Amino acid sequence: MHTNFTSIPLIDISGLYSSDLTERQRVADALGQAAREVGFLQVYGHGISSDLREGLIAQAQRFFARPMDEKMRFYIGNSSNHSGYVPEGEEQYAGGSKDLKEAYDLSFDYTEAPQRFRLLGPNQWPDSEDFRREVSAYYTAALALGDTLFRGFALALGLPEDSFAAITRRPTSQLRMIHYPLDTDPQADRPGIGAHTDYECFTILLPTAEGLQVLNGQGEWIDVPLVADAFVINIGDMFEVLSNGHFIATSHRVRKVSAERYAFPLFCACDYDTRIAPIAGLPPRGTHTYSPVICGDHLFAQTAQTFRYLRQRIENGTLTLPDGSLGLASFGSDRQEVMR
């Protein structure tokens, strides 16, 4: 159902903050068209200040400039909620490719009660108060933007504006701080990140350089331009399922670039125990039938099959996947054929 798009829609979403429902619906309709036809869009008028964005980028630059032994003190395998430093080669996606990147992963910092879920608990923070303050401030602002977009997408589907509010109170929404080091071998046939769709509902991406490419309906890779003050938004597998196929998760990749690059995706998801299935009353778009999953269990199962430290625990019997766990790239529209 992808169109043969050749560019990514650019939308001013300031109207979503209007007190006039007609204005909010106008913007929602534009969001809906992009989500149905492309699965990707760029937005401005979002209200997140340049100070917050620059503070996040500065903290990432400082952390990733540390020696490897210092970064590994905060290795993600030391955490209880899958937060911390991710060295190059830790992740391996469907198809067996390893990405050329390092990252620091953080999630909703849940400290108000004992930890019940594997992906929802206290974050592992580096030994820097500046890092924690600046990154937390950005996460809070970006999560609030996610709530605004959830309301806009609800209107786009013809649903009440607050339809997703009850299932996004303590979400399994992860912020990744990703560093693509300078490629000293630009001729090597190795992508920064291989082709994939995102697991969650949608992603709010802040990039510092170009490199992201999106697959259109004709099988062509379309470059996503770097637009000042704009975020890249893309639909994920869970929103495709919730929308009963009206919104589409689009395969994308990060092509190899001969320059240092940072990217900050916030993967907006639902609360851990949310059942992800087509919303009642939404007629199907197309012929695909979607099977339900539990949000947190599915995200954890996909994560556990991707990250080396979790795969090792599965192999030695100290970790088991949730009942009914699916294999990699086997949810949504089963886009395994584009995982290359």
pLDDT of 324 higher than 50:
yes
Domain range list for the chain: 10-338
Beta strands per DSSP E along the chain: 10-12, 40-44, 84-86, 102-106, 174-180, 193-196, 202-207, 212-215, 221-223, 231-235, 252-254, 261-268, 275-276, 293-294
**Amino acid residing at 265:** P
- Nearest-angstrom CA–CA distance, 123 and 131: 13
Strands 10-12 and 40-44: parallel
Query: How many alpha carbons fall within 13 Å on the CB side of residue 303?
Result: 20
Answer for the pair 243, 150: CB distance below 8 angstroms, yes or no: no
pLDDT in tens, 46-77: 999 999 999 999 999 999 999 999 999 999 99
- Nearest-angstrom CA–CA distance, 175 and 206: 11
Percentage of the residues of the chain whose pLDDT score is greater than 90? 75
Answer for the pair 179, 101: CB distance below 8 angstroms, yes or no: yes
pLDDT in tens, 161-213: 999 999 999 999 999 999 988 766 654 544 446 678 899 999 999 999 888 99
Say what the pLDDT of residue 338 is. Answer: 34
Reported as a pLDDT band with limits 50, 70 and 90, residue 33 is very high
Q: Is residue 239 helix, strand or coil?
A: helix
Report the topology of domain 10-338: Jelly Rolls (2.60.120)
Say what the pLDDT of residue 1 is. Answer: 64
Predicted TM-score (pTM) of the model is: 0.92
Other C-beta atoms within 10 Å of 100: how many?
19
Q: Which of 38-47, 232-241, 284-293, 326-335 has the lowest mean pLDDT?
A: 326-335
- Report the Cα–Cα distance between both ends of the chain, in Å, rounded: 20
pLDDT in tens, 77-114: 999 999 999 999 898 765 555 667 899 999 999 998 88
pLDDT of 339 higher than 80:
no
Say what the pLDDT of residue 254 is. Answer: 82
pLDDT of 335 higher than 60:
no
Which residues fall within 8 angstroms of residue 208, CB to CB, at 6 or more apart?
57, 261, 262, 263
Arithmetic mean of pLDDT, 263-275: 97
Answer for the pair 264, 60: CB distance below 8 angstroms, yes or no: yes
Q: Is 95 left (phi over 0), alpha (psi -120 to 50) or beta?
A: left
Other C-beta atoms within 10 Å of 189: how many?
5
- DSSP output for 285-309: SSS-----EEHHHHHHHHHHTTBHH
Exposed / middle / buried, residue 309 (Cβ in 10 Å: 0-12, 13-18, 19+) = middle
Other C-beta atoms within 10 Å of 22: how many?
8
pLDDT in tens, 101-160: 899 999 999 998 889 888 999 999 999 999 999 999 999 999 999 999 999 999 999 999
Say what the pLDDT of residue 195 is. Answer: 78
Report the chain's mean pLDDT, rounded to a whole number: 90
